[in-house]
Amino acid sequence: MSKKRILITRRLPEAVEARARAAYDVVQHADDRQMGIDEVLETAKSVDALLITLNEKCRKDVIDRMPENIKIISTFSIGFDHLDLEACKARGIAVGNAPHGVTVATAEIAMLLLLGSARRASEGEHMIRTRSWPGWAPLQLVGQRLDGKKLGIYGFGKIGQALAQRARGFDMEIHYYDIYRQPADKGKGAIYHETLDSLLSVSQFFSINAPSTPETRYFFNKDVIAKLPQGAIVVNTARGDLVNDEDMIAALKSGRLAYAGLDVFAGEPKIHEGYYDLPNTFLFPHLGSAAIEARNQMGFEALDNIDAAFAGKDMPFKLA
């Protein structure tokens, strides 16, 4: 029996590609060149399933143009805001994601951003790399400790809970808001807030861990910032479009926010120009899941979806 053909839009870790090639006839660019949507749609005519990444924006107009032979799409990501699930359902396309591999890796990056922001790490590294360090001084780059500080987590799913677990190791007091209140065993002492406003009022540190939805997009604006304690530190490892960049940058410039640690940006890789010259920012190029253990698991979960769909079963990580 001939192998099914699948399109993988980007290069993936060696172990993931080896598993894919063992089971399928894989179509992909050897040089990891980003595929444009038109190229994806054209290539899709000759394959049986798509394994895409968050770079391939499959909105309704794209799904409506998808060849009739495509009934399986699996995304190498936990997020699915790049996919129009309703359009996929209307076309009878099964869609799955890779929800578990990112949890620990992203929580670690959030913790790194909290630490780096609190201790002004980017300013210190800049001083070294630009050969501008004059030597130790009592008031040089004085930041703050984490212990005893209140960490507010907006979005208390798997990643939010994993961040809480790590922050407890730094003796932070954990608070959270989510549309679902977690049972005590998952909350593990975290203090639940009935409203976002209540959470904001106590959050000396504020971590954004919510999904990108019509309700959350650009929620972090000047009105939300005004409800945080003066000089709060904010980190975002969720999605860039949860933040109003103009309002964030203005608050950082004025000192209303002391620091921001950001791993994701609206419109990435083209980010708001205002961030580049802000010294009180700790900026990463979307490193949340960039650990080999995480990327391997993401790839295996994406392939699990395709395997199941070809076998006539429900995807284990089904979205549509």
Catalytic residue ranges: 239, 268, 286
The CB-side HSE value for 214 (13 A sphere, CA atoms) comes to 1
| DSSP code at position 284 | -
Cα 5 to chain centroid, rounded:
29
**Cβ count within 10 A of residue 320:** 19
> Are the CB atoms for 146 and 168 separated by under 8 Å?
no
- Could you check whether the bond before residue 134 is cis, i.e. omega within 30 degrees of 0? no
Which residues sit opposite 235 in a β-bridge? 207, 261
Give the containing element (helix H, strand E) for 303: helix 292-310
- Tokens coding 315: 């995807």
Residues contacting residue 23 through CB under 8 Å, at least 6 positions apart? 3, 4, 303, 307
| DSSP code at position 283 | E
